[in-house]
Amino acid sequence: MTSSGYRLLAQGEGGLVVELGDAVDPVVNARVHEVAAAVRRKLEGDVLEIVPTYRSLLVLFDPLRVERAGLEARIEDLLSELPVRRSRAARRTLRVPVEYGGAYGPDLESVAAHAGLSAEQVVGIHASASYLVYMLGFTPGFPYLGGMSERISTPRLHSPRPRIPAGSVGIAGVQTGIYPVESPGGWRLVGRTPLRLFDPRRKNPFLLAAGDGVQFFEVDEPEWLDIERQVNGGAYRPEWKS
Whichever domain contains 194, its CATH number is 2.40.100.10
Count of the separate structural domains present in the chain: 2
- Is the residue at 2 inside a domain? no
Q: Are residues 166 and 106 in the same domain?
A: yes
Helix boundaries (H) for the chain: 26-42, 68-81, 108-115, 119-128, 221-233
The CATH number for 47's domain is: 3.30.1360.40
Sign of CA dihedral 124, 125, 130, 134: negative
CA distance readout (Å), 110 to 101, 114, 167: 10, 6, 20
Give the residue from 22, 48, 81 where a domain finishes: 81
Q: Are residues 171 and 223 in the same domain?
A: yes
Q: Are residues 140 and 21 in the same domain?
A: no
Q: Are residues 30 and 100 in the same domain?
A: no
- 3-state secondary structure (DSSP) of residue 80: helix
The pLDDT > 70 percentage for the chain reads 96
Q: Are residues 22 and 74 in the same domain?
A: yes
pLDDT of residue 54: 86
Q: Are residues 12 and 119 in the same domain?
A: no
pLDDT of residue 132: 93
Is residue 203 within 8 Å of residue 122, measured between CB atoms? no
Q: Are residues 71 and 159 in the same domain?
A: no
Mean pLDDT, the chain, whole residue set:
92
Q: Are residues 118 and 233 in the same domain?
A: yes
DSSP state for residue 96 in the 8-state scheme: E
- Identify which has the larger pLDDT, 151 or 3: 151
- Is the residue at 86 inside a domain? no
Q: Are residues 180 and 217 in the same domain?
A: yes
Sign of CA dihedral 198, 199, 203, 207: negative
Confidence of residue 85 (pLDDT cuts 50, 70, 90): low
Q: Are residues 157 and 208 in the same domain?
A: yes
- Is the residue at 1 inside a domain? no
List the domain range (segments joined by +) for residue 229: 93-241
Q: What is the pTM of this model?
A: 0.83
Give the residue from 34, 55, 81 where a domain finishes: 81
At residue 82, does pLDDT exceed 60? yes
Q: Are residues 70 and 123 in the same domain?
A: no
pLDDT of residue 211: 87
- Is the residue at 203 inside a domain? yes
pLDDT of residue 4: 61
φ and ψ at residue 61, rounded to 5 degrees = -145, 165
- 3-state secondary structure (DSSP) of residue 54: coil
Give the residue from 54, 81, 108 where a domain finishes: 81
